[in-house]
Amino acid sequence: MNAAFAALLGAAFWVAPSGASAQALPERAAPSSRAEAVLSFAPIVKKAQPAVVNVFASRVEKVPANPLYDDPIFRRFFGEGGMPGRQMAQSLGSGVIVDPTGLVVTNHHVIEGMTDVKVSLADKREIHAKILLRDPRTDLAVLKLEEGGGYPSMELADSDLLQVGDLVLAIGNPFGVGQTVTQGIVSALARTQVGISDYGFFIQTDAAINPGNSGGPLVDMNGRAVGINSAIFSKSGGSVGIGFAIPSNMVKVVLATAKGGGKQVRRPWLGATLQALTPDIAEGLALSRPTGALVADLDARGPLAEAGVKRGDVILSVDGQDVEDPEGLGYRLGTKPLGGAASLSVLRAGKKLALMSKLVAAPEVPPRDPVKIKGQNPFAGATFVNLSPATIEELSVQGNASNGVVVAEIEEGSFAQQLSLQKGDLILAVNDKKIMTTRDMEQAAAGRAYYWKITLSRGGQTITTMIGG
For 116-142, what is each residue's pLDDT tens digit?
A: 899 999 888 999 999 999 998 888 999
**E strands, 359-402, where?**
371-372, 382-386
Q: State the Cα angle at 44 between 130 and 149, rounded to 5°.
A: 30
What is the per-residue pLDDT for 1? Answer: 41
Amino acid at residue number 137: R
Segment 188-214 shows an average pLDDT of: 72
User: How does pLDDT run across 235-276, given as a tens digit for each residue?
Assistant: 555 556 688 899 999 999 999 999 999 888 888 998 888 888
Q: What integer best gives the mean pLDDT of the chain?
A: 83
Confidence of residue 191 (pLDDT cuts 50, 70, 90): low
Q: Which amino acid is at 36?
A: E
Task: Give binding residues for substrate as ranges.
Answer: 109, 139, 212-214
Q: How many CB atoms lie within 10 A of CB 421?
A: 22
Higher-pLDDT residue of 58, 337: 337
Q: What percent of the chain has pLDDT over 70?
A: 81
pLDDT at site 14: 35
CB-based contact 28:127 (threshold 8 Å):
no
> What pLDDT score does 18 carry?
42
Mean pLDDT within 52-65: 72
State residue 29's pLDDT score. 76
Please check the confidence at residue 451 and state whether its pLDDT lies above 70: yes
pLDDT at 20: 44
E strands, 15-166, in order: 52-63, 85-99, 103-106, 116-120, 126-135, 140-145
Give residue 201's pLDDT band: very low, low, confident or very high (50, 70, 90): confident
Q: How far apart are CA 116 and CA 135, in angstroms?
A: 17
Q: Could you give the 3-state DSSP secondary structure of residue 395?
A: coil
Over range 284-296, report the average pLDDT: 89
Q: Mean pLDDT lowest for which of 2-11, 47-56, 198-207, 220-229?
A: 2-11
pLDDT at 193: 55
CA 304 to chain CA mean position, Å: 24
Return the active site residues.
109, 139, 214
Task: Give the model's pLDDT for residue 194.
Answer: 53
pLDDT given at position 230: 85
Looking at residues 135-156, what average pLDDT do you find? 91
Give the tens place of pLDDT for each residue, 70-124.
Answer: 555 545 554 554 445 555 566 788 999 999 999 999 999 888 888 889 999 988 8
Q: Is 274 exposed, middle or buried (0-12, 13-18, 19+ CB in 10 A)?
A: buried
From residue 425, alpha-carbon distances to 363, 396, 410, 458 in Å are 20, 9, 11, 5
Closest CA to 143 of 154, 127, 156: 127
The helix (H) or strand (E) run that includes residue 167 is: strand 167-172
pLDDT at residue 60, as a whole number:
64
149: Cβ–Cβ under 8 A, 6 or more apart, which residues?
100, 101, 102
Per-residue pLDDT at 83 = 46
Mean pLDDT of 390-395: 86
* Total-model pTM: 0.77
Domains in the chain, ordered, with CATH? 1-11+43-265 (2.40.10.120), 272-358 (2.30.42.10), 371-468 (2.30.42.10)
